[in-house]
Amino acid sequence: MQQHHPPSLPKVRKNPVSQIRFVRQIRGDMISVLSQWFATYGDIVHFQIGDDFHGYVLRHPDDAHAVTVTHAAKLHKTQNYKHPTRGLAYFLGNGLLVSDGEFWRRQRRLMQPAFHTQRIAAYGQTMVDYTRQVLDEWDGKRRLDVDHEMMRLTLMIVARTLFDTDASGDAMVVNEAMTIFQRMMNDVDIFPHWLPTPKHLRQRRALREIDAIIYGMIRERRAAQEDRGDLLSMLLMASDDDDTGMTDKQVRDEAVTLFIAGHETTANALNWTWYLLAQNPAVEAKLHAEIDATLKGQPPTLDDLKRLPYTEMVIKEAMRLYPPAWSFGRQTIAPIEVGGYRIPSGCNLSVITYAMHRDPRWWDDPDDFVPERFAPEHEANINKRAYLPFGGGPRICIGNSFAMMEAQLILATIAQRYRLCLPDGVTIEPEALVTLRPKNGLPMILQPRQQA
């Protein structure tokens, strides 16, 4: 029977002090706070800020399905992301991650071919080459911040595959600007955006720098009219049935979107994989055995991936325990029913993937790292709705094959040469910002492997 309201937290009053206190409380340790809410109130929890902000956090696979698939047409991306001067849209404009409706549909249709298996296959070699370059730089080193290294590596790969440039010049500037953007996303900013505070001025400068670089590249490419094989060329060449393509502004928005969406998530998938392998020597040994037997000391190629099933299972299981996109949000544009409750139009919903991925109702020994769950013979037993590292439905991650290919190639290339171990006494804590990342980096010890 449809009930009117799910369990609610006490209303947060709409004044700066109460709001900042609330946001600080949940941002300080979002994962624990949400776990507590679910444990106390159940699968859907409602919270309210002032009279007009209604939020709902969800963790049941059927409710996640209702959000991603059943009611997809009645949901838009979260308004919070789309605020013209704050949130993601400040940097991403109307890129795929934040656009909605017919506009989003057309952009998705135009961009989809850029992510077809054949097109991204060409990037496999780039991924391995850059990983090997980073490994050469590791020679003779004993301790590393693996988080920094994974970010650097996935940044180099996205710079090459997206813009066909290396990560030293322009891409580095874009990355610095993105770091400013990251901070902005995770800060509580009480000042109106038009006020020229030092932070706002830094953000504006970052935006100007990004735009100068990307519009510069677009101008050059349009003038040269060549297909450089990268994603930017694909965006510039994409056209609809009526032969209309994207405007420069739209290409810019999509390029920035892919740059942002395309490296930090994959870097964190790898971070957590290294962290879990270091604590699970039996899994690590099985991974090494597969890599050594399959690759026989040669660097991996795209063709090898299908012969590295355990490598893939390890990454899938790491993303279960630590989903880099630990939650995703929507706003209702019409009333919908979720979990037996009627949710009115104009409300914000967040699917908490992290909580769903560790729920003992769907996973045996949910906190254990067991890649075998994803073995072909066991995969049929998995509740598919309870595993959403890439989201689901029409808005499923457009880069999911790209990301899986990249993570597998990087993992195999590095694990072939090194073990990454956790130093004694170091504890790593997850921090749920835009992505789920190790809070203070990931210091690890490098141990060269004696290959079989």
Residues lying near ligand HEM in the complex (CB under 6 A): 96-97, 108, 257-258, 261-262, 265-266, 269, 324-325, 328, 389-391, 395, 397-399, 402-403
- Shorter beta-carbon distance to ligand HEM: residue 371 or 399: 399
135 versus 398: smaller Cβ distance to ligand HEM: 398
Cα dihedral value 404, 153, 89, 237, nearest 10: -70
| Complex with ligand HEM: residue 119 or 204, whichever CB lies closer | 119
Residue nearest to ligand HEM (CB): 399
Cβ atoms of 405 and 161 closer than 8 Å: no
Smallest distance from the beta carbon of 367 to ligand HEM, in angstroms?
Answer: 20
Closer CB to ligand HEM, residue 78 or residue 280?
Answer: 78
What's the closest the beta carbon of residue 372 comes to ligand HEM, in angstroms? Answer: 21
Cβ of 121: how many Cβ atoms within 10 Å? 13
CB of 197 to ligand HEM, least distance (A): 30
Residues with Cβ within 8 Å of 297's Cβ and at least 6 positions away in sequence, in order, are 416, 451
What are 330's strand-pairing partners?
77, 349
* Cα dihedral: 142, 148, 149, 155 (round 10): -170
Question: What's the min distance (Å) between Cβ of 360 and ligand HEM?
Answer: 23
Q: How far apart are CA 43 and CA 58, in angstroms?
A: 6
- For residue 32, what are the contacts with CB-CB under 8 A and spacing of at least 6? none
Cβ-contact 159, 171 below 8 angstroms: yes
**Nearer Cβ to ligand HEM (330/373):** 330
CB of residue 96 vs ligand HEM: minimum separation in angstroms? 4
State phi, psi for 382 to the nearest 5 degrees: -75, 140
Smaller CB separation from ligand HEM, 251 or 446: 251
Nearest distance from C-beta of residue 386 to ligand HEM, angstroms: 14
